[in-house]
Structure 1
Amino acid sequence: MSSYDLVILLRSDGTFCEELEEPDWQTKITGRYKKIKEGYFLEYMDSSVENDTITIEEDKEGYTSIYYGGTQMVKMDVANKVPSGFYKYSSASSSGGMGTGLIYVGTQRFEGYNFYDNGTFDRNSTGGVMVSGGGDGGGGIGGGSNSESSSSGKYTIKNGLLTLFNRDGSIEKHSFFYDADGGEDFMVALDGSIFFYEENEQLKSGEIHKNPDPVQPKIEPSTSDVTSAINVLQSVKTTHGGQAIDALKTLKAEVVISGMNFKVLLDNERHYIRLESLEPSFPYIEQLEGNSGWTYQNNSYNEMPAERINEMKLTFISGILGLQKKVLDKTKILETLEGGENLNLISAQISNEKTGYIINTLNNSLSATIIIKEDQKEVTYLSDFKMVGDLFLPYKETTVTNETTIEVFYKSYILNPTFTVAEWSKKR
């Protein structure tokens, strides 16, 4: 998926809806809420979802802050007008498969609207699944469901229902809310995604204006005793398989991301990785071969960009493979931090690369792994652990950055398979 934005509609009848991208958002009920001293208590219809609270705080100067889901919220108006101007949305994310260090698949989406006072609009968008190098898209190779589109026409707006009448005769209906008091940081919520307003900005043909890269927080210096960190990692290693991690020479897996199936081959001895699409409509292969690599797309072979090669090589020093003896022996602990909720963080350096681990101290297991690039970090949360042979591996990974979230689901693992030459060969 492309983005993780949190937008909730509270109705006067005590119901609320969080699925504002759905066609029936006007009547759809996610749950019910009631006013409490702290703000609003949310009770979900789905019993598997934990109830939550929207907290409202007022400071001494009378300024009100709203918090929900760990995020500061902005109150928006139900729209009966669309302020003219340009609205942009952009997201780009990547998943390094940090639990096992297998894949680096991403999604991207860029979209922009111009709304005019005469009731007309125009729009441009690009997006899709990509197998790419570089968190900023540099050296990336687009693929999968990549698409570009543009449209224009007329629009109407009433009680938050935005109707677009496209010139090709099609009609679209969207939810639309806006922050009337946002000033320079004016935002709107369209189908539950946040778009930023830019006055008098014109959409150039085929061009989408991207948001600047988010500023990620730096890890603060440790005040803990770093000499014990290696012992902690050794305990984590024991939890996830101990010597079986050292014995992991080869691995085969099938994964699903954004509805697309991929096969992954990993040779830990030769430092080979092959990522191959299993989708007939998307023939794609990406293969690392030590310090070099190649890609196959659109019936054409190309050399793998150097940036992408360096990313894929991180596979062998991070995640589960980062707990191998040959890696731990070269690991320099940078800092340790004691967090809340029984979680500790260890950041480390192997050669010139920085990685990190978030440890569940109750059972000495991996809760998340971190990759640090140019003082920015991606955190991949690990869940749905199962025993695979003698290894304790995640079947779900959720990678979170400042602007997006992406999920990877593992369908199967095969440990230490014997590969044939044909499995690493180029297509004919």
Structure 2
Amino acid sequence: MTKNLLLFLCLLIVKTFTSCAQSPVINGVYVGAELYNTPFDGMQINNIVISFRSDGTFNNALNQTDWKTKTSGSYTVKNNLVQLMFKNGNESKKYKLAANGNLESTAGIKHTLHKVKKVTTIPAGVYEKRNASSSGGIGTGMPAVGAFSSDLIYFDAKGNFSTDRSSVVGITGDATGGTVGGRFEKDGKTSGTYKLGDGEITLTFGNGTIARQSFFYSPPNEEDLVLLNAEFYFRKEDENEKPAITQRTTVGAKTNTSKPVATGMPAPASLLTQLRAQYGGENIDKLTTVRETATVTGNMQVIALTDIVNNRIRAEVRQNGKLLLIKQLNKNEGWQWMNGTKKPLTQDEQDELTLSLYQGILGLHKKLNSSFLTGTVSASGNDYVITFYRNKNKVIYLVGSDYSLKGNAYSINSAPPNISIYKDFTKANGITYPATTESSDGKNKLVSNTTSIEFNPVLTDDSWKIP
């Protein structure tokens, strides 16, 4: 129930794995699609893009301007098994190197990675971006300068392109290399010229805007796609859908991407009532203390203590039984202990601990739900999103149309959001809570599995002591 605070704790002690590559090596960009399930939208597709280098390093963020030199981790090849180790502490991945050069998954739902090609020419065709969720390059703190997005893009094989429903945040300047940060948006069709280079494409729009991105091609007998700025664009058979090529592009007013205010949304009080009814009602209000023990990605163990009455929170992180980290907050004062050293918490760290009280099942507690009642409700597909603030920090609940609790998100100041997805609900003492939480800050993913939970345990002074 208090696992929302686990992500930022564990990220502090996730170790960086490095390794020297063994022969043979892999060189080139590989792409593929991995299926997975989420409680948000059911079956989803994770588009995978990995650029392997002969020096034993790889990069999976090809939507960054420094994609050619950026390193996400290292890999080894032994007995035709390719082991990927991530610098950010993400769980390592393993692929089998097939005889035809493809990389085949060894865990989860089976998927294959195919090698795509650098090209200097491309046959005429219409390519469509398919909806997919991406695990790389989001929230990395690196500016994705030159980010391009469009539903359709048409190449005429003569150096001209056109798009529909497009938006370009590009590198502007002259085509020879002068650059000035800029932004171009147009509500309608856009077109211009393109030039293919060393794994890159330069798009020059009619108004002079230039965008340079990574670009690779897979022919029809393979994936039949183009990889543009790490986005998958698949060839469409119907050539009649191609946007028109025009000789000039006029700049219109900035596109209004805001959606109309949804009508018929339930009030926050109604959502709160429905959630409380499903997950424990008055039994939640009886909680004064909680002790939760969980295992977390990276062979870590976490014990989280929550004292609602006295506004105290503590989390202890261990790895292989060794105590690595403690963070504790007592009202408005907090400290961190790591490797025998104690120091005060920053304000952001205090805020992050505090926000754990206002998410998940605990956030439905009558002593903690006043901010929920001030929220704004909007639609997300068939689901509801309620957004509210604790001081200046945003908290979001994702609620299903059946009033199920699907997940939470929060952000400190203007930092990228931390997102938690809830799964495997179980019931104890009249309270229904998620036994599994999948968390991500955009760069790192952690899975937390509750191994035990105690409601209203007696917490003594020893429970809160410094090691």
What interval of TM-score do these two structures reach, taking the shorter chain for normalisation? Answer: 0.5 to 0.7
In the other structure, the counterpart of 1:371 is 410
Aligned-pair distance for 1:277?
2.3
- Any residues of structure 2 matched to 1:192-231 within 5 Å, and which? 222-225=261-264, 228-231=267-270
- Any residues of structure 2 matched to 1:397-408 within 5 Å, and which? 397-408=437-448
> Matched residue pairs, number?
274
Q: 1:339 aligns with which of 354, 369, 380?
A: 380
* CA distance 1:368–1:220, shift in 2 (3 Å): farther
In the other structure, the counterpart of 1:246 is 285
The Cα offsets for residues 127-155 of structure 1, whole Å up to 9 and x where unpaired, read as xxxxxxxxxxxxxxxxxxxxxxxxxxxxx
Residues of 2 paired with 1:328 and 1:401: CA distance?
Answer: 24
Residues of 2 paired with 1:220 and 1:179: CA distance?
Answer: 39
1:295 equivalent to 2:336? Answer yes
SS of alignment partner, residue 97 of structure 2:
coil
Query: What is the one-letter code of the residue matched to 2:275?
Result: V
The structure that is strand-richer by fraction is: 1
Aligned-pair distance for 1:230?
1.3
The Cα offsets for residues 35-82 of structure 1, whole Å up to 9 and x where unpaired, read as xxxxxxxxx998x84999x9xxxxxx834235364459xxxxxxxxxx
* CA distance 1:290–1:243, shift in 2 (3 Å): same
Query: What is the one-letter code of the residue matched to 1:65?
Result: E
Q: 1:361 aligns with which of 401, 404, 408?
A: 401
Are 1:359 and 1:368, in contact at CA under 8 Å, matched by a contact in 2?
A: yes
In the other structure, the counterpart of 2:199 is 180
Are 1:30 and 1:45, in contact at CA under 8 Å, matched by a contact in 2?
A: no
Q: 1:22 aligns with which of 94, 106, 119?
A: 94
Q: Percent identity?
A: 18
In the other structure, the counterpart of 2:235 is none
The Cα offsets for residues 57-114 of structure 1, whole Å up to 9 and x where unpaired, read as xxxx834235364459xxxxxxxxxxxxxxxx98878xxxxxxxxxxxxxx9xxxxxx
Query: What is the one-letter code of the residue matched to 2:214?
Result: F
SS of alignment partner, residue 385 of structure 1:
strand
Query: What is the one-letter code of the residue matched to 1:275?
Result: A
In the other structure, the counterpart of 1:175 is none
The Cα offsets for residues 193-223 of structure 1, whole Å up to 9 and x where unpaired, read as x9x99xxxxxxxxxxxxxxxxxxxx996742
* CA distance 1:306–1:401, shift in 2 (3 Å): closer
**TM-score, normalization by structure 1:** 0.53
1:67 equivalent to 2:130? Answer yes
Query: What RMSD, in angstroms, separates the aligned Cα atoms of the two structures?
Result: 4.3
Aligned-pair distance for 1:29?
8.6
Runs (5+) with no aligned partner, structure 1 = 10-16, 32-43, 55-60, 73-88, 94-107, 109-177, 189-193, 198-217
Q: 1:284 aligns with which of 325, 342, 347?
A: 325
Aligned-pair distance for 1:366?
0.2
1:274 equivalent to 2:337? Answer no
Runs (5+) with no aligned partner, structure 2 = 1-10, 17-33, 35-45, 51-80, 85-92, 115-123, 142-196, 203-211, 217-226, 231-256
Query: What is the one-letter code of the residue matched to 1:312?
Result: L
SS of alignment partner, residue 7 of structure 1:
strand
Are 2:407 and 2:419, in contact at CA under 8 Å, matched by a contact in 1?
A: yes
SS of alignment partner, residue 244 of structure 1:
helix
Residues of 1 paired with 2:292 and 2:369: CA distance?
Answer: 24
Residues of 1 paired with 2:368 and 2:443: CA distance?
Answer: 31
The Cα offsets for residues 225-275 of structure 1, whole Å up to 9 and x where unpaired, read as 566231122111111111111111101111222221111111111111111
Residues of 1 paired with 2:258 and 2:444: CA distance?
Answer: 20
The Cα offsets for residues 399-425 of structure 1, whole Å up to 9 and x where unpaired, read as 245444332222221111011211111
Are 2:306 and 2:314, in contact at CA under 8 Å, matched by a contact in 1?
A: yes
Aligned-pair distance for 1:224?
3.0
SS of alignment partner, residue 420 of structure 2:
strand
